[in-house]
Chains A and B, each alone.
Chain A
Amino acid sequence: MNLPQIDVAAVPDLSVMTGVFGSLAHKAMLASDDATVIVITFLYDVLHP
């Protein structure tokens, strides 16, 4: 079968996109999950091995 090469850029995304872990639309003061703590501690571990 001679199949075409599909261009990924032309394949649409879902109508509701999902941001990466810890991303926020607004600077949430007290986000109701531990994402901020995990992101901050990840950065801490990266920056202070």
Chain B
Amino acid sequence: MRLAPQIRALLDDPAPLRRAQECHAAAFESWRTAGETAALFDAFAAFARGAPLAALPALSGLFDPAGGGAMRLAKGLVAGLLPALAAEPFGQVPVRHQTNRAVTRLMLARECDATLTLMVLDGAGLALEPPARSISFAAAEEWDVVLAGRGEGRLVERRGTASPVAHPLELLPGVALGRDAAAEALLIDAASPSLVLLRLQRRRSAEAATPVREYDLASGGLLHQSASSPRESRHEIAVALLGRMGRKDAAPLLAEIAGETARGDSLRWQALRECLGLNTLAGFRALLAVARTQGDPLAAPAGALRAQLLEHYPALAGIDQEPDHCHA
């Protein structure tokens, strides 16, 4: 592999790289803690802890097209970071980022279930992407404001079980949108030459168990659903691992998870399956409790599984005839 001499030198002696990193960190920190930005970050922290956006003028002002706050934020960031980048080109800007040919994201803040992200859509890159065929909805609130450029998009609405309905949307500087992301999603189809957006998001923690659902735009059919929080998936993996490890001592915990309706259906069902495998008595009792709980979304599949297991394993009839454990 060919390495530029400047980079080779940094491999031999990492001290200049550390200094470069400190220079970038200091530039970011002095931007973050100065005047208007400091007030914004304080408001963001309160927002992340659940305060309504309307009660936080320093943050809500970003989405007021007349205020120009979002543009000041972006200009301040650029003015703060570019001199450090010019002085230390091998340092890494200490802002989490992601880029592909169509979109670049800079995550300016993240706390609890909230994020503040600056996004740039590149028109040429976007044109190379296949047209969107699907749209996702999540239990979250989302606000966007266009800072610069022009774009064409669609506001896609899905109410109840109806098919998604798309409303064309022209994205121009100053256009601001506040959305319930469970029912309204934004699709951006084109940008010319590029489109700069500031996006504020907050997942609704009370609905952490509601999956993100992806629907086909044309037919409205459900294409995919996935866990809406990393924690939910982590727990599901832990449940599967306990099962594979044969941890019989985990059966009571798995039975408990299976009965907790505030958790996601997928996690609860996996806990039930693994519990059945680890401890037949605890698992079948947990299954009966779920099957007998009115209004539980898993009651029907649990009832079907109960019938299936009773047919395969007649010995389970003894547990099935026990008094109702669920309400004991």
Binds A, one of B71-79, B80-88, B101-109: B101-109
- A41: which B residues are within 8 A, CB to CB? 96, 107, 110
Q: Quick check: B226 and A18 within 8 Å, CB to CB?
A: yes
* Chain B 174-188 interface mask (CB, 8 Å, partner A; 1/0): 000000010001111
Q: Which residues of B contact A6 (CB under 8 A)?
A: 276-277, 280, 283, 309, 313
Known contacts: A5-B280, A18-B264, A25-B224. The answer to whether A33 contacts B140 by CB under 8 A is yes
- Contact-residue size bin, chain B (C-beta under 8 Å from the other chain): 35 or more
Q: Which of B132, B214, B264, B315 contacts A29 (CB 8 A)?
A: B132
Q: Is A33 touching B266 in the complex (CB atoms < 8 A)?
A: no
Q: Which of B6-14, B42-50, B229-237 contacts A (4 or more CB under 8 A)?
A: B229-237
Report the bound CA distance from A36 to B133 in whole Å.
18
Residues of A in contact (CB 8 Å), total 40
Interface string of A1-39 (1 = CB under 8 A from B): 111111110111111111111111110111111111110
Please tell me if the beta carbons of A33 and B186 are within 8 angstroms of each other in the complex. Answer: no
Contact A19 B225 (CB under 8 A): yes
Which chain B residues border A38 with CB–CB below 8 Å?
230
B199, closest chain A residue (CB): A34
What are 16 of the A-B contact pairs (CB < 8 Å)?
A1-B281, A6-B313, A7-B277, A8-B243, A8-B274, A11-B276, A11-B309, A14-B269, A21-B227, A22-B230, A24-B214, A29-B102, A29-B188, A33-B203, A35-B228, A40-B96
